[in-house]
Amino acid sequence: GGADIECDMLVLGAGPGGYSAAFRAADLGMNVVLVERYATLGGVCLNVGCIPSKALLHVAAVMDEVSHFEALGISFGKPAVDLAKLRAHKEKVVGKLTGGLAAMAKMRKVTVVRGVGEFVDPHHLQVRETGGAGREASGKQQTIRFAQCIVAAGSQAVRLPFMPKDPRVVDSTGALALAAVPRRMLILGGGIIGLEMGTVYSTLGARLDVVEMLDGLMPGADRDLVRVWQKMNAPRFDNIMLKTKTVAAEATKDGILVRFEGEQAPKEPQLYDLVLQAVGRAPNGKLIGAEKAGIAVGDRGFIPVDTQMRTNVPHIFAIGDIVGQPMLAHKAVHEGHVAAEAAAGQKSAFDARVIPSVAYTDPEIAWVGLTEDQAKAQGIAVTKGHFPWSASGRAIANNRDEGFTKLLFDAQSHRIVGGGIVGTHAGDMIGEIALAIEMGADAVDIGKTIHPHPTLGESIGLAAEAAHGTCTDLP
């Protein structure tokens, strides 16, 4: 008893997972409450993730592109950067999308409750209103009674314990705020988020160092894709420190002094004007009072779920970053739809074969399904189809022919099992390879599909034809 609001479906967290789930549940006839602590809908992705980073990366890519135009007979001169205007542009982009979501929620009669939610028992969530900075604890409280619930509380950036609390040490949210362009910037962690933000800052004038514990940048991507990226991007970096540990850091008057350990580590501590911590994200599973609802949470804060996204409590589902890797918006959206449909009694389940990954750097790197290393590790014999963009009319016309497209086929069934693209617009093209994998396409299906000429996407058909040439037993 004693609930202020009652609903069929409560969704906790309004990121891509949460709003997708809430909208689908409403479309299926449920009375839905969406609880969110941020002032706007959209979660990390829209507010401080995918979207603002892409707004800045687009600007950086255009600046880099035209900086090479002098050789084509076109000169623009040195760019003059107005950071305040650039920040305003980024905020406008975010505002358009979050405003659009609010309108869509209203249209579907989804009730948005603003505040920090915590479970009280398996059917109640308490929400403390967030009245503004620092007033969280004193705000008004409401209790919501729900029949079913979808937990979509996401993740947050991991902080290294020894990093000083200092405005010159930021996570991705701080980096996106773009307060200033530093002279020397350290990127802690050579993954997608760190290298995307590094691209923006370096184009705006910063010199970069990157430190990565593993033996290569962009862990998870095919090494030959990364090689092309690294060759093109070498001029941005003073120092790429692989297999290197960051062991200490100290805030000084002149900058953040950082010490490293490892074969490739500089012996002397290095001084930076800005340090970006991009060493990964941790799920928020331990911050929502899950135990009071009886929801099992793993040691690291991930919530285990079945293929219908159900937790151990059958009427409570969980989706998105909080249930595991890969922490990607499109995975969260797909899971959100599955959970809402399952809650409505449909037979939906998560059975996607593959989830594509994209680094929106310059050039972009995109991959889906098995990489060559993974195929080898799993003992799957593969046939390769490789198409270099130095043979692509469009890539040459674009003055950007450094990329390539690569497809991997199961040597026995000839069905496609993976693919990777490095080059401009790689991310916009990887969906075709994902579709081919989901449909069980083989090299002939892809190679005989007529692709428009001259396009970069044509390279997918041509890579398939290249593989076909090597599979002589294909029809």
Judged by CB under 6 A, the residue of 110, 152, 200, 340 near ligand FAD is 152
In terms of CB distance, is 153 or 342 closer to ligand FAD? 153
> Quick check: 306 and 297 in contact, CB under 8 A?
no
Q: Determine if 288 is a binding residue for ligand FAD (CB under 6 A).
A: yes
Binding characters for ligand FAD, 363-402, by CB under 6 A (x = yes): ----------------------------------------
Least distance between ligand FAD and beta carbon 58 (Å): 12
Pick between residue 283 and residue 403 the one whose CB is nearest to ligand FAD: 283
The question of whether 468 is a catalytic residue gets the answer no
Q: How many CB atoms lie within 10 A of CB 80?
A: 5
Q: Which of 123, 425, 453, 468 is catalytic?
A: 453
DSSP state of 72: G
CB of 189 vs ligand FAD, minimal distance in Å? 12
Nearer of residues 188 and 265 to ligand FAD, judged by Cβ: 188
Instruction: Give the x-and-dash track for 100-139 against ligand FAD (CB under 6 A).
Output: ----------------xx----------------------
CA distance 145 to 174: 36
Question: Is 283 a residue that touches ligand FAD (CB under 6 A)?
Answer: no
User: Quick check: 288 and 118 in contact, CB under 8 A?
Assistant: yes
* Cα–Cα distance measured from residue 117 to residue 287, given in angstroms and rounded to the nearest whole number: 9
Q: In sequence order, which residues have a C-beta less than 8 Å from that of residue 244 and are 6 or more positions away?
A: 211, 212, 213, 260, 261, 262, 263, 264, 265
Binding to ligand FAD by residue 226, rule CB under 6 A? Answer: no
Side by side, the strands of the sheet bearing 245-252 are 245-252, 255-261, 270-272
Within 323-352, the residues that bind ligand FAD by CB under 6 A are 327-330, 332
Tell me the sheet residues that pair with 416: 409
> What backbone torsions phi and psi does residue 28 show, to the nearest 5 degrees?
-90, 10
Q: How many residues are listed for the chain in this entry?
A: 475
If one asks whether residue 174 binds ligand FAD (CB under 6 A), the answer comes out as: no
Tell whether residue 305 is a contact of ligand FAD (CB under 6 A). Answer: no
Q: Pattern 19-58, binding to ligand FAD, x per CB under 6 A?
A: ----------------xxxx----xxx---xx--x-----
* Residue 265 identity (one-letter amino acid): A
Tokens for 185, please give them.
Answer: 């910037």
**Candidates 221-229, 318-326, 370-378, 391-399; binding stretch for ligand FAD (CB under 6 A):** 318-326
The answer to whether 262 and 181 are in contact (CB under 8 A) is no
3-class DSSP state of 303: coil
- Residue 153 touches ligand FAD, criterion: CB under 6 A: yes
> Encoding tokens for residue 5?
């609001």
What distance in Å separates the CA atoms of residue 420 and residue 426, rounded to the nearest whole number? Answer: 8
In the region spanning residues 438 to 457, those forming contacts with ligand FAD, defined by CB under 6 A, are none
How many chain residues bind ligand FAD (CB under 6 A)?
36
CB 144 within 8 A of CB 33: yes
Binding site for ligand FAD (CB under 6 A): 12-18, 35-38, 43-45, 49-50, 53, 116-117, 152-155, 172, 193, 284, 288, 320-322, 327-330, 332, 360
- Residues belonging to the active site: 453
